[in-house]
Structure formats: structure tokens, C-alpha cells
Amino acid sequence: MNDPSFKAISQTDIPEPSKNTKMHRQREISVHKTDVGAAERSAGAKSPDRQCPIHKKPHLLGKSRAVREKSIKERRVFLKEHRICFKCCTSTKHMAQDCKYTATCIECGSGKHNSALHPGSVSQTKEPTPTTEHGGELAPTAPSEVTSNCTDVCGGDESNRSCSKICLVRIYPVNHREKATKVYTVIDKHSNRSLVRSEFFDTFNVQGPPSPYSLRTCSGVTETMGRRAPSSQIESMDGEVRLLLPSLVECNNIPNNRSEIPSPNTASNHPHLKAIAHLIPELEQSAPIMLLLGRDIITAHKVRNQVNGPRDAPFAQKLDLGWVIVGNVCLGGVHKPDTINALYTRTTEQKRPSIFEPCPNVLQVKERSSQF
């Protein structure tokens, strides 16, 4: 009466059958069972031929590593407690004496016992490695080897290694390419002038009187003097690019951190930089960091190509003088020091004391008229 799909009709609405009308008996409707009851599901779940009684996963008990790692005595106790046949190890409906299954051990090929009761250790198994579809019964894997990739990249020091725009180039006086010398040059957009160390003047016997200039860095302003190199030229290591340098100012405050020099090994340890690893020259131990190119030679700063990679990963840029890598190249950042020890303090440009080392890459040169 409460089901809206059925129309409630009164007894008076039913017409009386006529005498000529034959009464037909309604045909009975029957349906087959379409679901498994809870009791049957429970029985099926407990059946070891359908599901492992330990992991509740669809793999045979003989292939369960949890069972294979037990001793023979513990396995027998386990089978007895679960009323599992000792011969087939897949049924709880009969005993071993009534089992018609022909047992074959996949370990030794014996027909007297099942693989679940093989006396050997689990490491001697010869069966193929099951997949995760069988309850995650994966074969034991060899312990991962300890690698020293980050030590190779960082050089074994205790701090993070961060690369900057440093290129290996050849430098020589104009029209004297036979005197070319390999040096590293820092591409520094924070400097308004190009600088060179005193070794350059000694190497190429460049003479000239020193002139005064002021050098502004993060540490403040310093009044100093230095010589000038009016005509020099550099070229890339492949010889495809040659640049005429502006007048170089003698300065020994050029950053000299060789750990910032990129190398092929650095690039090859980062998947997104492997493609350009062969384009970066090997580290030249005999080549000094002698030159700093500022904004007065803007051509050397222009980026012709770039490889970004994932977020927070080092990136690579192709300049006219070659490929450079910029950023922290440590693999996992495992070299961060736990403590900071300050032996002395420094004074910043704002005359405030600080335990942090001022940035050496911000250089401002202001030349003054020579008094000599």
C-alpha cells in the first residue's frame, strides 16, 4: 500500500468475471541469485586456494614469503591451526590422507612435499618474482649501494657548491695570437668595468704607469691604484668567437673561488644538463681566474640559449664564450653546515658590523685623473 509504484484499488473496482471469461492463472516469475551472500563470501575468503590467509591477497600459500621465512615446525603449526591440507596447502575441506593432489615442489622438484613445506631457506627460491598483483610478494632486492656522486660534484668539501658564470677562454694581445694563454674569466654583470689581475701584465709584459681609481664593493669604498691594458683580445675555446676587449683595469680583488667553475661532471650528474655536458671544457688546473668582464663589454653577457630544468635546479646558459652553469649543483644539498663559526666580523657598505662575508661580485670602479 505504501509503494507508489503500485496503484491501490478497492475491491469494488474489480469487475466481476463474466461467465464466458476464462480464468487464466498468472505465470510465476523466478530469478536466479545474482550476489554472493555474506556467509559464502566469508567461506571464500578463508579458502587458501583463493586467498592467502596471512595477507588476504590472491596468491597461493606456497608463494607467500611470510610463510617461507618460518621454520618447518612453525609452518606445520600454522597449517594445523588453519585446518589446511598438508599435501596441497590449498584447501580446508579435506585432510592430507584424502587429498588427490600430486604435490610438486618448485624448489627441488620433489613429489613428497609442497613448496610451502620446502626445508630450504627463502633465499634459495627459483620461482619468478611475483608482481604487486599478488599481494606485494616481491623478491628481496640487493641493498642499494652507497654512491659518492655528490662528493664527486662538490669536491668533498663541507659546504654547498654553487657554480657561476665562469668561462675558460684564450686571451692574448691584439695581433699576437701566438701568445694566447688559457685563463678563466668571470662574467659579472654587477661590475661596470672589466678587470684583470696583475699576472696579466707580467705574462704579456704590458708596461704602463698606474693610475688611481676608487673601487666600491659590498665592503665599502677603497681607494687604490692600478695599470691599464689598452688592447687585448679573447676567444672561445672552439675558436668560433673572438672579442676585442675594452681597456682593462688592474685589480687583484677579482673573485678567485675555483669551486664555482662548472665542469662536465657537474652537468652529467643532473639529468636536464646531460645534453650539454660535452660542451663544457674539463677543469684546467693550471689556468688561473685572471679576468672579469663587466658591463663595458655587453656582448659577452648576452644569452644565446638556455636550459632551465626543474624548479630550484641549476640552469645552463650558452654565451658567446661558451656554456656556463648557474646555481647550487649539490645533489640533495647534503653539505649544509649545522653551525656557523665567526672568527672576526666585517663592516658592510652601510658601516654596520656583520659576521657574514660581503658579496665579492659587486664591483664599481670610478677612475680619477692621474696625478703622475
| Residue 237: band (very low, low, confident or very high) from pLDDT cuts 50, 70, 90 | very high
> What is the DSSP track for 180-203?
-EEEEEEE-TT-SS-EE-HHHHHH
Residue 289 CA to residue 260 CA, distance in Å, equals 11
Q: Say if residue 36's pLDDT is above 80.
A: no
| Residue 124: band (very low, low, confident or very high) from pLDDT cuts 50, 70, 90 | very low
Average pLDDT over residues 335-353: 54
Q: Alpha carbon of 53 to those of 68, 130, 153, 228: distances in Å?
A: 14, 17, 50, 86
362 in the same domain as 275: yes
167 in the same domain as 74: no
171 in the same domain as 86: no
Total number of domains constituting the chain? 2
Q: Is 145 among the domain residues? A: no
* 90 alpha-carbon distance from chain centroid: 45
CATH of the domain at 295: 2.40.70.10
183 in the same domain as 119: no
Whether this prediction's pTM lies above 0.85 is answered by no
pLDDT at 335: 47
- Say which residues have a Cβ less than 8 Å from residue 325's Cβ, sequence separation at least 6: 163, 262, 266, 267, 273, 280, 314, 315, 316
The rounded mean pLDDT for the chain is 74
Q: Alpha carbon of 214 to those of 282, 305, 366, 368: distances in Å?
A: 36, 36, 5, 8
363 in the same domain as 249: yes
258 in the same domain as 212: yes
363 in the same domain as 216: yes
Q: Is 234 among the domain residues? A: yes
Q: Say if residue 269's pLDDT is above 70.
A: yes
Domain assignment of residue 224, given as a range = 158-331+345-367
Strand-pair category, 181-187 with 289-293: parallel
pLDDT at 313: 87
60 in the same domain as 187: no
Average pLDDT over residues 182-190: 93
Q: Is 148 among the domain residues? A: no
Q: Is 183 among the domain residues? A: yes
- Say which residues have a Cβ less than 8 Å from residue 315's Cβ, sequence separation at least 6: 306, 307, 308, 309, 325, 326, 327
Q: Is 261 among the domain residues? A: yes
247 in the same domain as 208: yes
| Residue 44: band (very low, low, confident or very high) from pLDDT cuts 50, 70, 90 | very low
209 in the same domain as 87: no
Residue 65 CA to residue 31 CA, distance in Å, equals 44
Q: Is 237 among the domain residues? A: yes
Q: Is 14 among the domain residues? A: no
Residue type, 127: E
186 in the same domain as 53: no
Over residues 245-259, the pLDDT tens digits come to 999 999 998 988 898
Q: Is 53 among the domain residues? A: yes
Going along the chain, which residue ranges are E strands? 162-163, 166-173, 181-187, 195-196, 211-217, 220-226, 228-229, 232-236, 242-245, 248-250, 289-293, 305-307, 315-319, 322-328, 346-347, 353-354, 364-367
Average pLDDT over residues 342-371: 63
Look at the block and give the residue holding cell 676608487.
Answer: 214
84 in the same domain as 185: no
